[in-house]
């Protein structure tokens, strides 16, 4: 584990915000499939900064350089490895961090864990930038899933308490998800999206930040994927999704609100529909006993407000062993939720694909 | 994984609701520590049925029989194994399940996954009964954690929408947790507990069930425990907690409600307190960058209403390939939240202890 | 790992020589297959003591009690768990061990590792008795492999330097292996077997012991099983086989003797045979690049002479911190090679089946 | 697993012989230690081609480029990643391989496993070149082990049947190993080395190749490292060593020859020596019950003769489905044993360090 994920596929993510490069190794991908690099770049763009007015002005090209794993553009069975060079690196911005940890960041805990030897620049290995290699893996795996008619997509369900219309848990379609892929701001409801953007702009104007919720769906999954207890779909997806910095909660199907319902309300009746067993409602989020039911798999992820804010904050000085005031320099995303959308899709894709390989071995 | 958990400790849970026995193997426990069997039995009792008026009338003695791993009452370094015999087994109650899957249960997905060969009696390996071996592991590990002054405890934060008073995220103490251990109904606020009990009774009276939320705290953890990305404390705990049937969501610290706050509200200021670095508030739930901060580790778990209800429900018949009506026989807990409290503590204990061993290897 | 093995199947072995029971949990077996308990008992008998004149007189019934994982005699998808009760336990024989470690045993290293808390009786978890649960797992998995026409068998290739005739690496057949299953002393050549038995008897008569070599074959494996680098068939099999106490070496195909050959001698020419690609010779032991070639998979295992001998031996006394003389009491196998034959088969079966599941997930 | 190794450290190796780069990610290294890049380069040079008269003329610079994991030259806790660019790549030499698999190589099995999509150039991921990233990992870890006074070294014990003098299993010293590090041809006995070189030259002159045996020692290991059954030192080391292409056997201590001894000969008497418990002899190779005894850890590895030879060989043509003759073009090492010495050391270092971290967590 650590920066490694998977049982059938093995994903190993490396890099620091300001190291020479960041990257990923993916072992266990099946040979013979084409990797559409253009499609991958388009996917990466959804995570890239600078694509909307609120994202950090740091210029990250996020150009993916493949080191191994392909032969004539096809996966060749050897581990796939790719890197992104870190070019626009200004370490000076982070000189203070080692001494005065930023509230809400991993600066303090990394200092304790690594005894001061951590690379604090830009958050080091804890930087949101580490989600770029996650997206390389996710983007490729989404291409593999597409060949099995499995599609994963997410939208911004909420920012600063402003709600988008949710996915219909029963009828959500590939067209719905495809439409979101094309949005620069992935909301189902444009007016809700506009209100969210305004909330982000308002936060920015006062040197503050906002958080939100992402709802993610996987459709086309066969019933029967996932394993008992610790290897259920919820476990697998949660394990992957919490690797995204700023994620502080996850719920499947009706989740926390379902915990307020009666059994007679929350249970989903089974019914035959075109000789397939479906459920009439989908409070179970497509997972029963950790195993997919064939209904859309649905989960929601809570993302905390960006901890980097322009306002003065109370913190401590390690060297002087006293409380002090910190004012973070540089520009930062006032809301990372929009850019986290493909990251959540990636984490889900990785978890689902790994489970799918387990499913296949008993076919 | 599957029914196995852990990297340093390896927990393997086995059994079906109606197999000869259920049990657990725990590999990797340190030698030389006493296992207090009385304390373990007391812990198991908190999960056991029949201890309050609403729990299932099935008489499970939950008598723990140790097979290996002890020498003169002390852990000896060999894998610890223990079983509980299944004695009060009435398979007849479940004869219908294979053909007419119960809504909200794993009957349907298990049927698909295992091709009809699953042991459907009592839910088989998907039964809530499988949390008994989880609690054997959790109970023993909580004894080991106590030797390092780490204490884990949980309370019923909500049932049927009725809320208990939450833990104070900064000042929660071992006394608070110890008091809860002794409650037959683990609520901080007795009157809230009474209202919850009434809600359960009301649901039962109409053949329905209710769900709820459990809040769990771990105190005494040193700062620096947990690893980057996929091995963060959130990942580890979520991976363990979703093994408990009926769990559909988890959030750490301010979680979903924190996603509605501004950064300036959600960030926790650092401060020196008796020459130790603390945070003034604890929205981060004791975890930053996946690593413990030394503040109380706090998370909340959403538990769905018991899917087994006495009311008629719509489902399908596999054999007749048509929709049908199911009326579940037997008595079932109208609310499993109270009995899930030690299960959540156990899952947390296992995850935390495994992380703690990782922490120790670099000391 | 530790006492756990496997990626697709998860085997967890527990118990001490003198604990209440020893046993195994096997997670990940496919549902729907019958477990032939009679066949399993017959397989266990090949490992059991007392079946030939030289084996230890301790009376181990090795009666397998299934705790879970079956429904109506078929694997049901839930983890399979089975135990063997330890009945004939005389701990007094081992009272000295903790203070005066037996040469060639794990007494000393266990003492250091577990700080004196290990269960020294009968060797505890390091006892050869722990191969009984290994054989439960192996015996069941060999039944599953048989359904795919994969057969594993071994013979005593050498004892005390006396050599049996080896398997023909190209033509070895299921009939050859089946014949060995029925032998009370698994030698291809009866006269060699008789000479070995005499060597064992001679060693016994002077209070000494002898070791030997086991050759194991797996036939019927499709080409393409096994993975690169650390997951090659050699890695997987070696990982499993070294779990058997007393194993000190393993070689595949021409192995150590092949290292003395020229490339032109050791290389195996490919040829078409009945439209299948075969090799003319089989110095590669059925494995190239860690992947099966479709030729018989062949390996040899070095087993050291039983460390428990009746002669006086030099050792130390922990308590008195001085050198001393030890005379081991009780009767012990003067040669464990014959009983190790099904253990080697079991280790191979487990490793091969786990690899086969990996193979299947990409079909 | 696959191209990943380790439990506490996670090593992920990627690349093909002719991909853009080959490399390694190492997760789990402790923060704060300096990586001496010059020392690493010197270590890599021992594996590099062209350093003696017999090695392949392909010009591989093996220049290590660090991508992440360091901060100011010190390990920073983030995964360490490094690559070596593949520069001197002439794919034309390998055009035939896909159709006419080379005997003794993984060409055939890779073809079957990957359905023809493998990168056959230069052996792809199965190339001996993949041992370069293994040595990056090994070289760094040997630096970490040195800080704990653990030293690993190996010599060419045998080539073409010509034997070097073996390590003294009891008295082998750091000076012995240090001397070998400096040899261009790692033999203890120069005259034996000269005879081996002549045998290699002779093989080369007739278009043939030779194999051999490497003996490896680890000294300075504390007693008590290693775990039971599947996590013993033998299992761990074998798992790592078989990742080196051409390795076909491994034996620990007296190994295969020990299997011919009596117990009274093979058992190693314990004795107090300067108030430490030692063994008088070391047939156990420093490992008892999978756990280190504190004596030198010793093992021997069988390396097959280089399968690439200049002589004509019989093989098949996939496309024409008939037998054919292959003459491999290009120059190849007539003996890879000398270059495999640091690879074996690396595999041992990785396995031992991973075990050492397990050992530390219970201190």
pLDDT at C93 over 70: no
Give residue C32's domain range. 4-360
Residue to test with chain A: of B109, B135, B240, B247, most A Cβ within 10 A? B109
What distance in Å separates residue D114's CA from the closest CA in chain B?
27
pLDDT at B60 over 80: no
Q: Is D247 an interface residue toward C (CB < 8 Å)? A: yes
> Which tens digits make up the pLDDT trace of D1-35?
589 999 999 999 999 999 999 999 999 999 999 99
Q: Is C266 an interface residue toward D (CB < 8 Å)? A: yes
DSSP for B88-117, written as a single string: S--GGGGTTTTTSPPTTSSHHHHHHHHTT-
Residues of D in contact with A121 (CB under 8 A): 71
Residue D28, helix vs strand vs coil: coil
Task: Kindly report the backbone phi and psi dihedral angles of residue A175, in degrees, each rounded to the nearest multiple of 5, phi listed first.
Answer: -65, -40
CATH no. for residue A110? 3.60.150.10
Mean pLDDT of A193-215: 98
Count of the separate structural domains present in chain B = 1
What distance in Å separates residue D38's CA from the closest CA in chain A?
19
Mean pLDDT of chain A: 94
The angle that helices D337-360 and D131-146 make with each other, rounded to 10 degrees, is 50
Residue A134, helix vs strand vs coil: helix
> Which tens digits make up the pLDDT trace of C142-156?
999 999 999 999 999
pLDDT at D44 over 70: yes
pLDDT at C73 over 90: yes
pLDDT at D237 over 60: yes
Question: pLDDT grade, residue B71 (50/70/90)?
Answer: very high
pTM of the model: 0.97
> Which tens digits make up the pLDDT trace of A69-111?
999 999 999 999 999 999 866 655 566 778 999 999 999 999 9
The CA angle D217-D40-D22, to the nearest 5 degrees, is: 100
Question: pLDDT grade, residue B80 (50/70/90)?
Answer: very high
pLDDT at B360 over 70: yes
CB contact under 8 Å between C115 and B79, yes or no, is no
CB contact under 8 Å between A229 and B2, yes or no, is yes
Q: How does DSSP classify residue A85?
A: E
Mean pLDDT of chain B: 94
Mean pLDDT of A207-212: 98
Question: pLDDT grade, residue D53 (50/70/90)?
Answer: low
Q: Give me the total of CB pairs closer than 8 Å, taking one residue from chain A and one from chain C.
A: 25
**Strands (DSSP E) found in D3-150:** 4-5, 10-14, 21-27, 65-68, 70-71, 74-75, 80-85
pLDDT at residue A195, rounded to an integer: 98
**D72 burial via Cβ count (<10 Å: 0-12, 13-18, 19+):** exposed
* Closest CB to C78 among B66, B80, B119: B119
**B74 sits in which H/E element:** strand B74-75
CB contact under 8 Å between C23 and B118, yes or no, is no
CB contact under 8 Å between B3 and C79, yes or no, is yes
Query: Which residues, listed in sequence order, are joined to residue C303 by a DSSP beta bridge?
Result: C212, C247
Residues of B in contact with A291 (CB under 8 A): 106, 109-110, 112-113
Mean pLDDT of D249-259: 98
Sign for the CA dihedral angle at A189, A191, A195, A197 comes to positive
pLDDT at residue C95, rounded to an integer: 66
Q: Give me the total of CB pairs closer than 8 Å, taking one residue from chain B and one from chain C.
A: 180
Residues of A in contact with D119 (CB under 8 A): 71, 76-78
pLDDT at C55 over 90: no
- The larger pLDDT score, comparing residue D121 to residue D81, is at D81
* Closest CB to A68 among D22, D69, D77: D22
pLDDT at residue A331, rounded to an integer: 78
Q: Is A176 an interface residue toward D (CB < 8 Å)? A: no
CB contact under 8 Å between C271 and D101, yes or no, is no
Residues contacting residue A147 through CB under 8 Å, at least 6 positions apart:
A33
Short-list A43, A33, A23, A26, CA closest to A72:
A33
DSSP for B143-195, written as a single string: HHHHTTT-EEEEEEEEETTEEPPPPPTTT--HHHHHHHHH-SS--SSHHHHHH
CB contact under 8 Å between C71 and B118, yes or no, is yes
What distance in Å separates residue C301's CA from the closest CA in chain D?
8
Which of B43-52, B122-131, C261-270, D243-252 shows the lowest mean pLDDT across its residues? B43-52
pLDDT at C1 over 70: no
Residues of C in contact with A360 (CB under 8 A): 360-363
CA distance C159 to C336: 10
* Closest CB to C20 among B14, B21, B68: B68
pLDDT at residue A98, rounded to an integer: 84
CB contact under 8 Å between D223 and C109, yes or no, is yes
Distances from the Cα of B216 to the Cα of B154, B280, B299, angstroms: 4, 20, 5
* Cβ atoms of residues B316 and A273 within 8 Å: no
SS3 content of chain B, % helix, strand, coil (to 5): 30, 25, 45
pLDDT at residue A362, rounded to an integer: 87
Residues of A in contact with C68 (CB under 8 A): none
Question: pLDDT grade, residue B93 (50/70/90)?
Answer: low
The CA angle C225-C230-C234, to the nearest 5 degrees, is: 55
CA distance A362 to B112: 12
Question: What pairing do the DSSP bridges indicate for beta strands C247-252 and C297-303?
Answer: antiparallel
Mean pLDDT of chain D: 94
Residues contacting residue B351 through CB under 8 Å, at least 6 positions apart:
B5, B233, B236, B237, B239, B240, B241
Residues 56-75 of A with CB under 8 A from D: 65-71, 74-75
The chains found to touch D (3+ Cβ pairs under 8 angstroms) are A, B, C
CB contact under 8 Å between C363 and A358, yes or no, is no
Mean pLDDT of A177-181: 97
Residues of D in contact with C261 (CB under 8 A): 211, 304-305
Short-list C160, C170, C215, CA closest to C192:
C160
Residue C155, helix vs strand vs coil: strand
pLDDT at residue B16, rounded to an integer: 96
CA distance A242 to A235: 11
- The larger pLDDT score, comparing residue B14 to residue B89, is at B14
Question: pLDDT grade, residue C51 (50/70/90)?
Answer: low
Residues contacting residue B175 through CB under 8 Å, at least 6 positions apart:
none
**B347 sits in which H/E element:** helix B337-360
pLDDT at A59 over 70: no
DSSP for B256-275, written as a single string: HHHTTSBHHHHSPPEEEETT
* Cβ atoms of residues B303 and B336 within 8 Å: yes
pLDDT at B59 over 60: no
What distance in Å separates residue A111's CA from the closest CA in chain D?
10
**D248 burial via Cβ count (<10 Å: 0-12, 13-18, 19+):** buried
DSSP for B6-57, written as a single string: -SSSEEEEE--TTSSEEEEEEE-PPTTPBP-HHHHHHHHHHH-TTSSTTS--
pLDDT at B92 over 80: no
Residue to test with chain C: of D257, D289, D359, most C Cβ within 10 A? D289
Residues contacting residue C231 through CB under 8 Å, at least 6 positions apart:
C290, C355, C358, D1, D2, D3
pLDDT at residue A56, rounded to an integer: 55
């Amino acid at each position: 584990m650590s920066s490694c994920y998977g049982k059938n596929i093995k994903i190993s993510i490396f890099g620091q915000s300001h190291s020479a490069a960041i990257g990923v190794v993916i072992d266990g991908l099946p040979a013979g499939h084409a990797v559409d690099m253009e499609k991958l770049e388009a996917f990466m763009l959804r995570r890239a900064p600078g694509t909307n007015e609120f994202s950090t002005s740091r210029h990250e090209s996020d150009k993916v350089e493949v080191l191994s794993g392909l032969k004539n553009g096809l996966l060749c069975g050897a581990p796939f490895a790719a890197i992104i060079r870190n070019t626009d690196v200004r370490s000076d911005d982070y000189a203070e961090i080692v001494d005065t940890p930023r509230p809400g960041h991993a600066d303090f805990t990394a200092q304790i864990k690594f005894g001061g030897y951590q690379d604090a620049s830009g958050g080091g290995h804890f930087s949101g930038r580490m989600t770029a290699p996650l997206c390389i893996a996710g983007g490729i795996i989404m291409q593999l899933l597409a060949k099995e008619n499995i599609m994963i997509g997410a939208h911004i369900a909420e920012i600063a308490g402003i709600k988008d219309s949710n996915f219909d848990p029963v009828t959500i379609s590939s067209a719905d998800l495809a439409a979101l892929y094309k949005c620069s701001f992935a909301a189902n409801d444009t007016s809700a999206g506009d209100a969210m953007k305004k909330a982000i702009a308002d936060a920015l104007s006062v040197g503050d930040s906002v958080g939100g919720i992402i709802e993610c769906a996987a459709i086309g999954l066969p019933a029967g994927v996932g394993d008992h207890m610790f290897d259920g779909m919820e476990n697998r997806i949660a394990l992957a999704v919490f690797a995204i910095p700023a994620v502080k909660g996850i719920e499947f199907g009706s989740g926390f609100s379902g915990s307020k319902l009666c059994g007679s309300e929350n249970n989903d009746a089974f019914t035959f529909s075109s000789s397939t067993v479906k459920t009439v409602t989908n409070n179970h989020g497509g997972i029963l006993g950790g195993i997919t039911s064939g209904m859309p798999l649905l989960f929601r992820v809570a993302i905390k407000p960006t901890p980097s804010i322009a306002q003065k904050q109370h913190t401590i000085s390690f060297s002087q062993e006293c409380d002090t005031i910190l004012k973070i320099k540089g520009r930062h995303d006032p809301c990372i939720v929009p850019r986290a959308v493909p990251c959540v899709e990636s984490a889900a894709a990785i978890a689902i694909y790994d489970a799918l390989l387990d499913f296949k071995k008993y076919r």
